[in-house]
Copies of this chain bind each other. A is one copy, B any other.
Amino acid sequence: MLDSFFNPKKVVVIGASRTKGKIGNVIFENLLHKFSEICVNPKAEKILGKRCYPSILDVKEKVDLAVIATPAKTVPGILKECGEKSIKNIIIVSAGFKEVGNLKLMTELKKIIKKYSLNVIGPNCLGVFDAYSGLDTMFMLKERLHRPKKGDISLISQSGALGAMILDLASRKHLGFSKFVSYGNAVDVNETDILEYLGKDPKTKVICIYAEQIKDGQRFIKVARKIKKPIIFLKGGVTSAGKFAAASHTGSLAGEGEIYSGVLRQAGCIQVENIDELFILAEAFDKVKHLPKGNRVQVITNGGGYGINAADLLEKAGMKLIKPSKSCVNTLKKEFPLIVGLSNPMDLLGDSTNKRYDQAIKACAKDKNNDLLLVLVLTQVPLIDEKLADVIYSDTKKKPLIAVVTGTGLAEKISKKLKEKGMPCYEQINDAVTAIKGLVRPKG
């Protein structure tokens, strides 16, 4: 049912514009060639070289998806015409509905949707981005909003601007995305409908949601619990100041923060507090090869103080640091200088080499006293180099491994290499600990 929103054969843009940079122009240009040669605007004859129709009713071809970008008051009439023309899937980009208190217009839309059995995303939204099909109804220019590469993360966002910013940052963070839906006022299709669709989508491995409101908590819980993929949820409006702001943003009644936390817990979702956490967990779940079986973390470091900070943050996050087993220690004793601390954290010291990391990771990966390795690398020291990325990567087959590589220059090179190989890698320990906490957390 929702598939035509992501993989339509033919799209019409209603309210297409001749003026470069205008919403109706950007959308039509983004869809041109692959999805849409058809545009509607009663005031124009041609847009971007294509014939422009005065109304959708003048279009003869079969159309799967309509994108409406006209003033709010014209939308009900246009939606009705879409119904007459048997276009079932419609994205209404136009603003000026619930978010400005225009509830009458919302009611009108609902009636038309019911009458013609339409599926409508919006109004007041950016619509849909699909990295695989190439469908892109976002009206932000590509030089301002960089689209992320293809990948496994999908995002549902009630807020268009917040969703757009996440996609834009993802492009820089080397994170791959699959689908993005900005659903705005949700006159019809809501967060749970999209969640259900993404739950079955073979190209989605991790689902992220930003929402100020869940329309039907019981249904949300039911749908979410069936999904075996991680669902990372940023709830907007959890405090009184936030709730007040939400009311004027999308017209949402954001409800009590604690009640929502309860719903999200029951639904098996991972609730995050901010965008950083959302990115950290999306990256962790997207990239880690195996989920850890328990909360025992072995820290490997080349900086003593950094290892101590890791130990502090891990213990605070509920993780355990158990000493490496005798056999692990005995193996490494033969290979390492006496001064190396074969404990937890394991301090390979400032004169550590790639080889010493290799030996430590190999031995600790085999050790039954841990469930997960946290490998810290400070790159200010002389004897490690870029090849350390291969060393860390080659040893990740057996145990989940999270890397932290901190510094300028060399650190950025190692980190980029690890991320490209598809490995969770952070610049700071606290981010890695946030990731580990999320990965270790028992599912609902």
Which A residues fall within an 8 A CB radius of B? 21, 96, 99-100, 140-141, 143-146, 157-165, 168-169, 171-172, 210, 212, 234, 236-242, 244-246, 248-250, 273-277, 302-309, 311-316, 321, 339, 341, 343-345, 347, 350, 378-382, 406-410, 428-431
Contacts and interface: CB of A to CB of B under 8 A. Distances in A.
A169 B408 contact: yes
Contacts of A159: 303-306, 308
Given A250-B304, A308-B212, A144 B430 contact: no
A343 B305 CA distance: 46
Given A140-B380, A164-B380, A273-B430, A311 B242 contact: yes
B312 A236 contact: yes
B242 A378 contact: no
A304 B157 CA distance: 12
B309 A162 contact: yes
A176 to B, nearest CB: 16
A325 to B, nearest CB: 17
B305 A380 contact: no
A304 B410 CA distance: 38
Contacts of A244: 311, 321, 343
A275 B99 CA distance: 40
A408 B166 CA distance: 10
Nearest to A304: B249
B242 A312 contact: yes
A273 B159 CA distance: 32
A381 B236 contact: no
Given A242-B309, A245-B345, A315-B241, A410 B144 contact: yes
A192 to B, nearest CB: 19
B143 A409 contact: yes
Contacts of A210: 305
A22 to B, nearest CB: 9
A169 B406 contact: yes
A345 B313 CA distance: 33
Contacts of A164: 378, 380
A303 B406 CA distance: 32
Contact of A307 (B245, B429, B430): B245
